[in-house]
Structures are given as C-alpha cells and as structure tokens.
C-alpha cells in the first residue's frame, strides 16, 4: 500500500545512535510521514540474506514506543517480528533500542571500541512503503558522557552519502528497503586500506588491534583478486557491477566468517591470519583470509545479482527454500581459490593440494551418500545451518561438494570442447541474462530457476551434460573426478593407508576430558557402541586425556581389541573396541607433464605459464 495523501517523493527516515556503549544499545528512531491509514505495520526480518537460518532479530529490541505527531499512541505486537501502530493522522515516529552484542557478521555489535550493524538487526520495515527511498542519519556517540573519547570515530559503509562526507557521520540514502538492509555499517577507529580495481574505488576498514599490519601487501593482493573477478565476468569492458566496494573486517583472536552484500562484505578473521610487515611468505592463515575475501567478493555477481528465483524478492518473514545453493555457494567456493591461483597469489601445486583437501573432507562424511547437494541446499535452514553431532553421518555440504560439482563441470567442459569453452562461459551467460541488469531501474529483478540453470550448461558448452549434472546435483554417488582430471594431465591418486588404528571419531576437549564430538558411521567406535557425548576415561586401564588419545592408540595394531571406559551421563560404561584403520578414501592431486594436450588445457584453466 502506498500513501494516498502525499504521492510526491517521500522518504522513510531513520536515525541511529550508539546510546549506551556499556549496555550495548543502539537507539533508533523511525519516522513515517504518511503512515497506513488503517494502522501502520512494521517488522524486523526473521533472517539475514546470505545466512540461511531463522534468527528472529526482533528479539533484540529492548524498548519500543510510538508517537503520532508527538503524542504517544498504542503499538500492538502482532507476532514475534511485527507491530501495528494505532491510526495516526500525520507523521508517525517509532522509537526503539536494539541490544547489539553479537560478535558475528550477521547481526550487530557495540561497545566502547566500535559499533557494527546490519540493517536487518536495526531498521524496522515499513509495510507497504518498502519501495520509497530510505534515509538514515548515522549519529556518533559523542554526547554520551561529554568527553571527546569518540571524536576520532569514523564510518565505513557502502551506503550512498546524502548529507555526509566520506567516512563521516551524517545522512545516507538507499533507494528502497531491500537496498537499505544490504549495506552493513561499521563505526570506530578502524585502519583504512584503499585501492582501485579496474578504475573502481575499493577499501578495507579493519577494526581491532593488528600490530605491524602489512597494509601495502593487503591492498596489492586484494586488487589482484578483484581485478581477476571483474575481468572474468566482463572480459571486454572490465566493468565492475558497483560504483565502489567496501570490505568491513573485524579482527579477533580466533574467528573466521563472512557475509556478502551487493557492494560490500562483512568479515571476521583471526589476527594471526593477517600479513606482518617484512614477512613475505604466504602463510596458510593469510591464504585462507584471501580466499574468504575472494569468496565474498565473487558473491557480488553470484547471489547478489544472479539470484535464485525465490530470492527475487526475499521473503524476510520466513524460510526461502531453494535447491540451488550448490550453484550460489558451491560455485562461489570453487572460484574463490581458483581466482587466487589465476591471480598468481598461489602456485599450481598449492592449488591442487587445496583441491585434494576439499575432496578428502567431503569423502570423510557418510552424509554424502545420503543427501544430495540439491537436498542439502533446500534443507539448509534446518540441517546445514543447524548441525549437531550427527551431521557428518547425515549432511553433505553444498559448499564443499558444490565446489567439486563446479570443478567436475569445468574440467568436463574444457576437455569436451578442446578448451574452447569452460565454466567461465556459463557464469558469463548467467551474468548477462540474469545478473547484469538485476538492480537496473526498469528491470524486474528476476531470478533464475533450476531448469534454466541446468539448460544453460548444454547450451553454452554444446555438450550433453544433463546426465552428469543429474548425478552430481541430485545424486549421492561420489563424483567421477579422477577421469575428469586425467584429461587435463592431473593425477588423482589414492593415499596408501597408514597401518594406524583409529576410532573414527571427532573429539573435543572439555577441561582435561576427552569427549566424543561425533562418531563416524561404520568406524570402530560406532561398532563398539560408543556415542557422541561420551567422555573417554581409559583405554586398557590407562587414562585418556584431551591430548593423548592418538599416542595411546599408536601402541596397538589394527585388529587388536581394547577395553574402553567412558562416562555417559556420569555413569561408567565399558566397551570392547576392535581397532580398525580409518576407512575414508583419501587422495593426492598432482599435475603431470603428459599428455601434452592435457597439460595445455590445465595451464589455460589455471592461467599458469610454467
Ligand atoms: Zn558464500
């Protein structure tokens, strides 16, 4: 519904201010010039796009009240996300506080050192007026205690400035509600790194103390990643899909994660993963961080513009089911590391080693034999995002197996067309048809359906890929990767099993106890009746601690039976465990010189020269 009284270009107005840093409260005021005559409904989203789990952000609203032309009016709660204000002739304003103490990329966080928020946590949606421009005044915490402790705070966001200088407090604008909640905001005393990628300004705001951070290296490496991706989608024009791009990075002692947005990303990383001045080696942690940046940046095209049909538009009240996350997360996971090797940041050997690690991880869980990536995607809300101790035996990751599906298709298309076509061509076709104009004013913003995606592989490659796709996406058999690799002169060879006994469990440390986190189906522990949650006490009368399990087991041979004591619900239980070897197949993946034609295809795939 749109207001009848004032059809002119109105705006929805918000102001947001860090109100109590120690209590972690943002104070928000929403002003609606022409509220719904029947009583304005407002709500907060139940989930944040990109993270497929119901999170019920409205539970963090601490106090809320409404005023009509300055007089208090009733606000009735309709359900866990929504309110209806009493009828109001004139401007309706809603004042509320948001508790912000979730140190993740998905919600909001506020203390004396910084503030961070996603619009899904802070900005009530004004039902019926979502298509109006939304203006936000972002205010500093300066007047909290009269001190100037926050005088150096700045703002980092990809929201467009309306009345604000770059990186300053002031008012910002979004074309509609969907855009408003797609630009997270960071405030504080962050380090700022700037670079251009094919002419487009990019920046990274880094919050958290990082001594001797090698900012020049970070800028140079990110530039290579971003330019590689821009050129992948637009090889002729090298045109990026956004006017500027912002990486918001929160640095902590131990953390890893990211969430994609249309012109920015929110990241969380470990301090030790960031590069140190004067230490030029590529650490595994830094490689992982660059992979994360690359992943979220790739989403700028794949899921923020090329989208599943059910995400256009998002229904923010409830689960949005799609079987296509193998494409949107899996293919993004494939390209994130591939871009690193193509940009020259890692070498071929390292890249193939990373592929082996992904493959071996997928082969470790028996869940892969029960759930397809299409089903894993559909059930993301209740399974992948809510993993319990049974997950390895029940769930397959549409990220990791999805990236292997992309790999298989890419190798197959390259070999089948003698290198004339590749998965890059399929991505470009998706981009041209569904992505490029997604946010254009006249474009309806249509997403892509499962049938359209699947038809595209045959159309673009000229091959008959349907049976392979069916097996890879809706099947549960392992993928025929060894054959596909062979044609690009890559050897995938099984690793000889070490004659080392294994319980086939994952353990977790609890104090000095060794607790079973999960028990793998078909392994020695499963056959003996051990269960996730059991606290191991002793093996053959010798105490098991959080750190000595492998050393104790190493004294035995495969086939030996040992007496295991464990506590379950504080009751001592005995198990006779016949030791077995780790049953998961594991592989190495290495480049070969021959056949020559295959090696040539491989070099074109990875864009390596030597
Ligand atoms: Zn992703």
DSSP string for 79-102: SSSEEEEPP-SS-EEEEEEEE-B-
Return contacts of 80-85, CB within 8 angstroms, 24+ apart. Answer: 80/56, 81/43, 81/44, 81/45, 81/46, 81/56, 81/57, 81/317, 82/41, 82/42, 82/43, 82/58, 83/41, 83/42, 83/43, 84/39, 84/40, 84/41, 85/35, 85/39, 85/40, 85/41, 85/42
pLDDT confidence of residue 1: 47
Determine how many CB atoms are found less than 10 A away from the CB of residue 557: 9
Q: What percent of the chain has pLDDT over 90?
A: 93
**Average pLDDT in the 443-469 region?**
94
Q: For residues 371, 375, 378 and 384, what is the CA-based torsion angle, rounded to 10 degrees?
A: 20
Q: What separation in Å is there between the alpha carbon of 142 and the centre of ligand 1?
A: 36
Strand partners, 160: 173
Contact residues for 562 (Cβ-Cβ < 8 A; gap 6+): 539, 540, 556, 576, 577, 579
Q: What separation in Å is there between the alpha carbon of 205 and the centre of ligand 1?
A: 20
Q: What separation in Å is there between the alpha carbon of 332 and the centre of ligand 1?
A: 6
**Average pLDDT in the 542-560 region?**
93
pLDDT confidence of residue 149: 84
| Confidence bin at 106 (pLDDT 50/70/90) | very high
Phi then psi dihedrals of residue 497, to 5 deg: -70, 130
Q: What separation in Å is there between the alpha carbon of 167 and the centre of ligand 1?
A: 27
308-334: b or e for each residue (b if 16 or more CB lie within 10 Å)? bebbeeeebbebbebbbbbbbbbbbbb
**Average pLDDT in the 394-412 region?**
98
The SS3 of residue 362 is: helix
**Average pLDDT in the 52-73 region?**
97
Q: What separation in Å is there between the alpha carbon of 65 and the centre of ligand 1?
A: 37
Q: What separation in Å is there between the alpha carbon of 50 and the centre of ligand 1?
A: 7
Report helix angle 215-233 to 331-342, nearest 10.
Answer: 120
Is 353 or 608 the better-scoring residue by pLDDT?
Answer: 353
Q: What separation in Å is there between the alpha carbon of 190 and the centre of ligand 1?
A: 25
Residue whose C-alpha is closest to residue 152's, from 184, 188, 122, 178? 188
CB of 358 closer than 8 Å to CB of 306? no
Q: What separation in Å is there between the alpha carbon of 444 and the centre of ligand 1?
A: 24
pLDDT of 241 above 90 = yes
Q: What separation in Å is there between the alpha carbon of 204 and the centre of ligand 1?
A: 19
- In the block, residue with structure tokens 């006017």: 243
pLDDT of 424 above 50 = yes
Q: Which two tokens stand for residue 81?
A: 């996300």
pLDDT of 6 above 50 = no
Q: What separation in Å is there between the alpha carbon of 329 and the centre of ligand 1?
A: 5
Q: What separation in Å is there between the alpha carbon of 302 and the centre of ligand 1?
A: 9
pLDDT confidence of residue 118: 98
| Confidence bin at 610 (pLDDT 50/70/90) | low
| Confidence bin at 3 (pLDDT 50/70/90) | very low
Which segment of 120-124, 180-184, 494-498 scores lowest on mean pLDDT?
A: 494-498
CB of 389 closer than 8 Å to CB of 518? yes
Q: What is the pLDDT of residues 148-207, one digit of tens each?
A: 889 999 999 999 999 999 999 999 999 999 999 999 999 999 999 999 999 999 999 999
495 vs 560: CA distance, rounded Å: 23
- In the block, residue with structure tokens 């947001």: 16
The SS3 of residue 432 is: helix
Q: What separation in Å is there between the alpha carbon of 299 and the centre of ligand 1?
A: 7
Q: Give the environment of ion ligand 1: residues with CB less than 5 A.
A: 329
Question: pTM score, two decimals?
Answer: 0.96
pLDDT confidence of residue 443: 73
Q: What separation in Å is there between the alpha carbon of 303 and the centre of ligand 1?
A: 9
Q: What is the pLDDT of residues 269-319, one digit of tens each?
A: 999 999 999 999 999 999 999 999 999 999 999 999 999 999 999 999 999
pLDDT confidence of residue 583: 81
Q: What is the pLDDT of residues 203-234, one digit of tens each?
A: 999 999 999 999 999 999 999 999 999 999 99
DSSP letter (8 states) at residue 509: E
pLDDT confidence of residue 148: 80
Q: What separation in Å is there between the alpha carbon of 78 and the centre of ligand 1?
A: 33
pLDDT confidence of residue 2: 46
Which segment of 212-221, 243-252, 540-549 scores lowest on mean pLDDT?
A: 540-549
pLDDT of 9 above 90 = no
Please provide the average confidence, as pLDDT, over all residues in the chain: 95
Contact residues for 432 (Cβ-Cβ < 8 A; gap 6+): none
Is 356 or 2 the better-scoring residue by pLDDT?
Answer: 356
Q: What separation in Å is there between the alpha carbon of 57 and the centre of ligand 1?
A: 21
pLDDT confidence of residue 496: 86
Q: What separation in Å is there between the alpha carbon of 330 and the centre of ligand 1?
A: 8
Contact residues for 83 (Cβ-Cβ < 8 A; gap 6+): 41, 42, 43, 64, 66, 75, 76, 77, 94
CA 335 to chain centre: 14
**Average pLDDT in the 338-344 region?**
98
pLDDT confidence of residue 475: 98
Range list of β-strands (E), 80-199: 82-85, 92-99, 108-110, 114-117, 125-126, 134-138, 154-157, 160-163, 170-174, 185-188, 191-197
Q: What separation in Å is there between the alpha carbon of 39 and the centre of ligand 1?
A: 39
**Average pLDDT in the 495-521 region?**
91
pLDDT of 5 above 60 = no
pLDDT confidence of residue 142: 67
Q: What separation in Å is there between the alpha carbon of 157 and the centre of ligand 1?
A: 20
CB of 219 closer than 8 Å to CB of 193? yes
The percent helix, strand, coil of the chain (3-state, each to 5) is 30, 30, 40
pLDDT of 7 above 90 = no
Q: What separation in Å is there between the alpha carbon of 258 and the centre of ligand 1?
A: 8
Torsion sign over Cα 410, 413, 416, 418: negative
Q: What separation in Å is there between the alpha carbon of 295 and the centre of ligand 1?
A: 6
pLDDT confidence of residue 105: 97
Contact residues for 481 (Cβ-Cβ < 8 A; gap 6+): 359, 404, 407, 408, 411, 492
pLDDT confidence of residue 144: 57
Determine how many CB atoms are found less than 10 A away from the CB of residue 145: 10
CA distances from 135 to 174, 235, 433, 497 (A): 6, 36, 31, 62
Q: What separation in Å is there between the alpha carbon of 233 and the centre of ligand 1?
A: 18
377 vs 526: CA distance, rounded Å: 28
| Confidence bin at 145 (pLDDT 50/70/90) | low
Q: What separation in Å is there between the alpha carbon of 297 and the centre of ligand 1?
A: 9
pLDDT confidence of residue 249: 98
């Amino acid at each position: 519904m749109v207001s009848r009284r004032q059809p002119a270009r109105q705006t929805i107005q918000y102001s947001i201010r860090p109100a109590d840093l120690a209590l972690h409260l943002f104070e928000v005021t929403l002003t609606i010039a022409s509220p719904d005559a029947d009583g304005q409904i407002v709500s907060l989203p139940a989930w944040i796009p990109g993270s497929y789990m119901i999170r019920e952000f409205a539970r963090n609203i601490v106090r809320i009240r409404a005023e009509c032309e300055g007089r208090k009016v009733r606000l009735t709660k309709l359900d866990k996300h929504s309110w209806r204000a009493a009828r109001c002739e004139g401007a309706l304003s809603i004042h509320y506080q948001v508790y912000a103490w979730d140190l993740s990329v998905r919600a909001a966080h506020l203390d004396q050192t910084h503030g961070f928020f996603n619009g899904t946590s802070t900005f009530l949606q004004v039902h019926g007026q979502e298509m109006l421009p939304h203006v936000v005044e972002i205010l500093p915490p300066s007047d909290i205690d009269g001190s100037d402790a926050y005088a150096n705070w700045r703002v980092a966001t990809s929201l467009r400035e309306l009345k604000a200088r770059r990186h300053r407090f002031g008012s910002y604008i979004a074309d509609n509600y969907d855009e408003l909640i797609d630009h997270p905001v960071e405030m504080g005393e962050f380090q700022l790194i700037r670079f251009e990628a094919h002419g487009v300004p990019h920046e990274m705001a880094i919050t958290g103390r990082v001594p001797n951070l090698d900012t020049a290296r970070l800028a140079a490496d990110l530039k290579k990643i971003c330019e590689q991706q821009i050129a992948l989608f637009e090889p002729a024009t090298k045109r990026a899909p956004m006017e500027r791009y912002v990486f918001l990075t929160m640095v902590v002692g131990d953390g890893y994660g990211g969430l994609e947005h249309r012109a920015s990303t929110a990241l969380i990383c470990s301090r030790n993963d960031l590069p140190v001045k004067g230490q030029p080696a590529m650490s595994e942690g830094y490689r992982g961080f660059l992979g994360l940046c690359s992943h979220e940046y790739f989403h700028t095209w794949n899921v923020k513009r090329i989208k599943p049909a059910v995400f256009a538009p998002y229904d923010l009240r409830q689960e949005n089911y799609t079987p296509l996350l193998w494409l949107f997360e899996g293919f993004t996971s494939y390209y994130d590391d591939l871009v690193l090797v193509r940009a020259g940041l890692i070498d071929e050997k390292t890249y193939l080693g990373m592929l082996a690690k992904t493959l071996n991880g997928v082969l470790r869980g028996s869940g892969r034999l029960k759930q397809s990536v299409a089903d894993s995607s559909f059930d993301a809300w209740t399974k992948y995002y809510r993993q319990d101790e049974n997950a390895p035996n029940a769930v397959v990751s549409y990220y990791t197996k999805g990236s292997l599906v992309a790999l298989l298709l890419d190798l197959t298309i390259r070999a089948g067309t003698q290198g004339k076509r590749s998965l890059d061509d399929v991505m470009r076709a998706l981009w041209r048809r569904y992505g490029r104009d997604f946010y254009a004013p006249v474009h309806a913003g249509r997403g892509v359906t499962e049938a359209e995606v699947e038809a595209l592989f045959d159309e673009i490659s000229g091959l008959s890929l349907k049976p392979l796709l069916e097996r890879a996406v809706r099947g549960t058999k392992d993928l025929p990767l060894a054959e596909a690799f062979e044609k690009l002169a890559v050897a995938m060879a099984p690793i000889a099993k070490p004659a080392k006994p294994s319980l086939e469990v994952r353990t977790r440390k609890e104090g000095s106890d060794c607790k079973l986190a999960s028990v793998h189906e078909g392994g020695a522990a499963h056959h003996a009746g051990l269960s996730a949650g059991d606290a191991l006490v002793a093996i053959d009368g010798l105490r098991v601690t959080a750190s000595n399990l492998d050393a104790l087991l190493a004294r035995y041979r495969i086939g030996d039976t040992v007496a295991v004591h464990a506590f379950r619900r504080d009751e001592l239980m005995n198990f006779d465990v016949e030791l077995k070897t780790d049953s998961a197949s594991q592989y190495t993946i290495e480049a070969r010189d021959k056949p020559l034609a295959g090696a040539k295809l491989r070099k074109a795939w990875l864009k390596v020269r030597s």
